[in-house]
Amino acid sequence: MSFEKIYKRIIAIGGVLIIGLLLSIFITLFINSSISIKKFGFSFLINKTWDPVFENFGAFPFIVGTLLTSIISLIISIPFSLSVSLFIGEYYKDTIFSKIFETFIEILAVIPSVVFGLWGLFYLAPIVRNLQIKFSLPPTGVSVFTASLVLSIMIIPYTISVGKEVIKLIPTDLKEAAFSFGATHYEVIKKIILPYAKSGIIAGFLLSFGRAIGETMAVTMVIGNVNTIPRSIFLPGNTIASVIANEFLEAITKIHISALIELALILFVITFILNLIANNIIKKVV
């Protein structure tokens, strides 16, 4: 048997194993959340109450908290991610400056989330507390906004890693042709680089969004862990991942455990769909 056939079989086996793993995760979560699904049905998604004492569970506050923190963190990270991607991929491509920046970005990506959580708790929370005082809100320091700030820093490396690679793929001849017609560097970026790399940059943001949705420890430490829909981003809230982390070990009744597992199932489906969309966009670019 040739090496090429062996290689193809290994790839096929790997693909089957990955698909099997994803299916097993989905099936396991679905089976173990069946009690909650049968009892609450679709109302689980829109119910605003989470009360373990009276066994009344609804995921809506956590879905709102998850999407809110993720969207805000993505909006905050966009200008920083885009500027660094252009710096590395266009202005100082393959130079010592880009190597240094890439090294720092890689370090930022591997820092444990608990470290970000502690940093947010002791550095960002006091700053947010001052803002809460100015807006006549409870000066807790921990809030949806605090969690969003921490998340925005955590997802920046993922957006940059995709953005800079897509920017580097832009043909040099295309840019040189624009320069030959008298275009400035800013005009080349605006008219050629950004439109050409738009799909890849959007895919990077979607991947970062999926990363932000699933973050647990850092968010749990700075969001406040209140099981209600926050009336302001400066008030405490909760996410799907954080409520699971907080309550799973303390859950006693079967319905409580099943409801938490159903939350995990919802989170799995959301992240799976987002990653599928992002990967399809990347394939179209590459």
- Residue 225 zone, left/alpha/beta (φ > 0; ψ -120 to 50; rest): left
Domain parsing of the chain, residue ranges: 33-285
The CA distance from 182 to 188, in Å, is 10
Q: Is pLDDT of 7 > 70?
A: no
Q: Domain 33-285 carries which CATH code?
A: 1.10.3720.10
52-76 pLDDT tens trace: 888 899 999 999 999 999 999 999 9
129-138 pLDDT tens trace: 998 898 888 8
Q: Is pLDDT of 236 > 80?
A: yes
Q: Is pLDDT of 2 > 70?
A: no
Mention every residue, 6+ apart, whose C-beta is less than 8 A from residue 275: 206, 207, 210
SS3 202: helix
pTM of the complete model beyond 0.95: no
Q: Out of 6-10, 98-102, 167-171, 247-251, give the one with best mean pLDDT.
A: 247-251
pLDDT score for 119: 93
